[in-house]
Amino acid sequence: MKIKEIYNFLDSLSPFDLQEKWDNSGLLIGNFEDEIKQVYISIDLDEQIVDEMEENSLVITHHPLIFKALKTINYDSYSSKLVKKLIQKNIALISMHTNIDKTHLNKYVASKILDLDVINSEEFICYANVNDSFENFANKISKNLGLKYLKYVKCNEEIKKVALVTGAGMSLISEVKADCFLTGDIKYHDAMEAKARGISLIDIRHYESEKHFSPLLEELISEYLKKNQLKAIITASKNPFKFCTQGEPVE
């Protein structure tokens, strides 16, 4: 099966033209005419999972491995190192980033993973009704995402409506119309801003909120691949973060 056939199918699922102008979704490495024998799906790449992939395959990631354009490929940086490994194993790479955030991922995480009552999902922000205490709600999020340790900013005792952006969504804070905002990679100044605006935050983390990309995409493309005698293997780059408390690992 040729890459361009899968590319076109993915484009019909979630048009690459929907990506934000700063994004770099699409075919990043490879040639539309190449034949592939194996498809992998992963939120990201790291050295170990590329080592374990078969040659002449295709990997579909959520995050674009090439984000800032490359002036040199010097094997020091994260992207250069993995570009080298992929090319040496002749593995093609397609990334589906802000296009699938908009068409599927936010809604999927909100309804299927977090079990929220979604009322609206457009562009990057997904809204749901809550009507519960902050504590109950935080516990539910914690359990559904499997986060033992929770970082949060609390402004109110009760939450009526929640907004969700998977990954790192704090740049959207001024557009949020809800009393609680769920997103990842929340920085200190973001937290100060939210506090002043009276919007509670629960940090659902970048990796943990977006790793659901893989089962979601697998579900969306398995039938199509089957017809073409292919199967998608879900693989996962490791979460780089570990947590400990007083020397004892927490997660």
Q: Which residues bind a second copy (CB under 8 A)?
A: 24, 26-32, 34, 44, 46-47, 63, 66, 69-78, 81-84, 87-88, 90, 135, 138-139, 142, 148-154, 168, 174, 184-185, 187-189, 191-197, 205-207, 237, 240-247, 250
Separation of alpha carbons 2 and 172, rounded Å: 38
Q: How many residues belong to the chain?
A: 251
* Complex with a second copy: residue 111 or 236, whichever CB lies closer: 236
* Complex with a second copy: residue 115 or 219, whichever CB lies closer: 115
Q: Give the shortest CB-50-to-a second copy separation in angstroms.
A: 11
Separation of alpha carbons 81 and 162, rounded Å: 39
Q: Give the shortest CB-39-to-a second copy separation in angstroms.
A: 18
**Residue 97 among known ligand-binding residues:** no
Q: Give the shortest CB-226-to-a second copy separation in angstroms.
A: 28
**Residue 11 among known ligand-binding residues:** no
**Residue 210 among known ligand-binding residues:** yes
Q: Give the shortest CB-63-to-a second copy separation in angstroms.
A: 7
* Complex with a second copy: residue 222 or 236, whichever CB lies closer: 236
CA distances from 240 to 15, 48, 236 (A): 30, 12, 12
Residue keyed to tokens 């909120």: 209
**Residue 189 among known ligand-binding residues:** no
Q: Is the backbone of residue 45 left (phi > 0), alpha (psi -120 to 50) or beta?
A: beta
**Residue 158 among known ligand-binding residues:** no
Burial category of 183 from C-beta neighbours within 10 Å (exposed 0-12, middle 13-18, buried 19 and up): buried
Write out the two tokens for 210: 């977006």
CA angle, residues 81, 85, 88, in degrees to nearest 5? 135
| Residue numbers belonging to the annotated binding site for a divalent metal cation | 62-63, 101, 206, 210
